[in-house]
Structures are given as C-alpha cells and as structure tokens.
A and B are shown apart, each in its own frame.
Chain A
Amino acid sequence: MKKNSKQLLEGIRDGLPIALGYFAVSFSLGIQARDAGMNVVQAAAMSFSNFTSAGEFAALTIISSGGSFISLALSQLIINLRYILMSFALSQRIAPETSTIHRMAMSFGITDEIFGVSVGRKPPLSPFYTYGALLLTLPGWAGGTAAGVAAGSILPDNIVNALNIALYSMFIAVFIPASRDDRHVGIAVIISMAASWLFSLLPVIKDISQGTRVIILTVCISLLFAIIFPVDENKNTEEASS
C-alpha cells in the first residue's frame, strides 16, 4: 500500500512538467478544434478520451472537411501505430502478475511523453506510477484544449515557445543517460538522429508524415541493432535498473 502511494506520488511528480508542456501544446490544438466546429465541451471530451497530439491534429483536419468515419479510423490507426510498439515494450516492463484491469487502465496512459518517463524508471513498472502521471497530464491536456477553444490566446507567445521544448528535453533526459550506460544505445541514438535528420530532408521521404517516419525508423534501426548487437539477458536487466 505504502509502495503504491509512493509510486503514485512519483508519477504525479514526473507528470507535472509534462502537464505544463501538454497545456501549451493542447492550447494550440484547441484553436484548431474551434476552427473544426467544436465547442469547449466537445474539444475537452475529444482530448480527454484520445490523449494524443498527432492523432487529434489529424482527426480535426478530417472532421472539418466532413470526412468519412472509415478514413478517420484509418488515420488514427496509422498515426498511432507507434503506441503498439510502446505498449509492446511496456508489456515487458510491467510485473508479469499485473492484473487485466490494471493493464487495461494503465494502457490508456501510453503517450510519447508518459512512455518516455516510464522507460526511464527501474522495472517493473507499477500501474500506480502511470495513474499518478495521468492525474495531472490528462486534465492538463483536456484543460489546455478547452482553454484554446474558449480564449484563443491566453499565454504570450514567448512563454508558449519556451514550454514547447520541455517535452523534447524530457526525451533527451531519457536517452542520453542511457547512451552513457550502454555504448550500443549511444551508437543507436547517434544513428537515429542522423537518419531522422536525413528523412526530414530527402525528397519524397520528407513528405511522409512525421508519425509514419517515426514508425519506419524505429522498426528499421531497432531491428538492425537487435541483429548486430543483441542484448545479453543478464546485461539487459542490469542496465535497465542502473
């Protein structure tokens, strides 16, 4: 019990900076939701039930043009495919005896950022850590969307700009320390940066959506490293916990 409450508090603590960043991002999402014809309640409900930036941005484009439900569903499936990889990866980091209810509930909290802080933790990942993280980030995300619709512009640009980098900085705080601990991760990170940069510049490839690019690069580079530098069973757990 004490352990669960500690996990919950740590989730809340790590969720706070994410929630602040989410508020800024979902604020601009709210402005687009208003353009797509949503009111404050609808926009907040969309963000509360979907909890994903790229997916919601894409959905708003389809909704505002009166697209079909099929194309909407397909867009969500493709853009959010990366969550399958994350869900898959996290399924290996939670305790095997974790109940179905906990699995179903905590999987709702798979976002790029919560995934980022979750993999930075010593396994096994507790469902209560995820619940703690959700406690501030989900209201922050839904609230920011609602505020965006209602006010159009509350925060000055320079503050929004500064908050926008927070999420990326948190990603960096996960993969850079891991690169120091494991040379192979470090090489993978450098190659990932180079490949991702190339993908954003090359003709044709740069027109592939950001979500798809992330899927392609993740699968290719991770597979390449799994074959060239397979992880030793014991080494794996040691490094994940260091």
Chain B
Amino acid sequence: MKIWLYIAVMAIVTYLVRMLPMTFLRKEIKNKTMRSFLYYVPYVTLTVMTFPAIVYSTGSIYSALAGFATALALSFKKMSMILVAVISCVVVFITELMIL
C-alpha cells in the first residue's frame, strides 16, 4: 500500500511541474531578453544533456565515440532524426562486435 502512495506523490509532483507553465502561461512574451532566453533554452538543454553523457551511454567509450561522430556528421548533413538514430545505433553495435 505504501508503494502506491509513493507512486502517487511522485506522479503528482512531476505532472504539476510539466503542466503549470504550459497551461497558465498564455500571453505571448514581449520582453526581448526573455524571448531570446527561451529561444536558446532548448538547444542549450539538449546539448548539455547529450555531452558528455553520450560518451558513457554504451558498452565502451570507443563505440560511443564512433556513434557520436556518426550522429554529428549525419546531423550536419541534415539527415532525418530517425535515420541519424538508427544509423548511429548500428555503428555502435558493429564497433562493439569488432572490439569486444
């Protein structure tokens, strides 16, 4: 029973964090600095979450670096997100087969 209460507490807190800003922030933000801040936030967040964590995401640093380099190169060529993900996974898989 206590586990269900734990689950309820964490679910409510996590949902409120997600829901409140999007639901109650309706006006367009006019402030230029604020708008600029929000323009940069997604790209900075995604970058910070990706690096250096990606280097430790697979079985070895070498396969991760191979996958990382692949994703960077394909993204630079503006390949679709799905292809970037699939091909980098395949590169990691093949690299690990070769080195292990």
Residues of A bordering B, CB below 8 Å: 13-14, 16-17, 21, 37-38, 42, 45-46, 49-52, 55-56, 59, 62-63, 69, 72-73, 76-77, 80-92, 94, 96, 100, 103-104, 106-108, 110, 112, 115-117, 119-120, 157-159, 161-180, 185, 188-189, 192-193, 195-197, 200, 210, 213-214, 217-218, 221-223, 225-227, 229-231, 233, 236, 240
Contacts and interface: CB of A to CB of B under 8 A. Distances in A.
Contacts of B14: 50-52, 55, 76, 80, 83
Interface of B: 3-11, 13-15, 17-23, 25-26, 28-29, 32-54, 57-59, 63-64, 67-68, 70-72, 74-76, 78-82, 84-86, 88-90, 92-93, 96-97, 100
Contact of A169 (B8, B20, B25, B88): B88
Contacts of B76: 176-177, 180
A89 B18 contact: no
Given A42-B4, A236-B39, A188 B25 contact: no
A162 B51 contact: no
Q: Chain A's interface: helix, strand, loop or mixed, by majority?
A: helix
A174 B46 contact: yes
B23 A165 contact: no
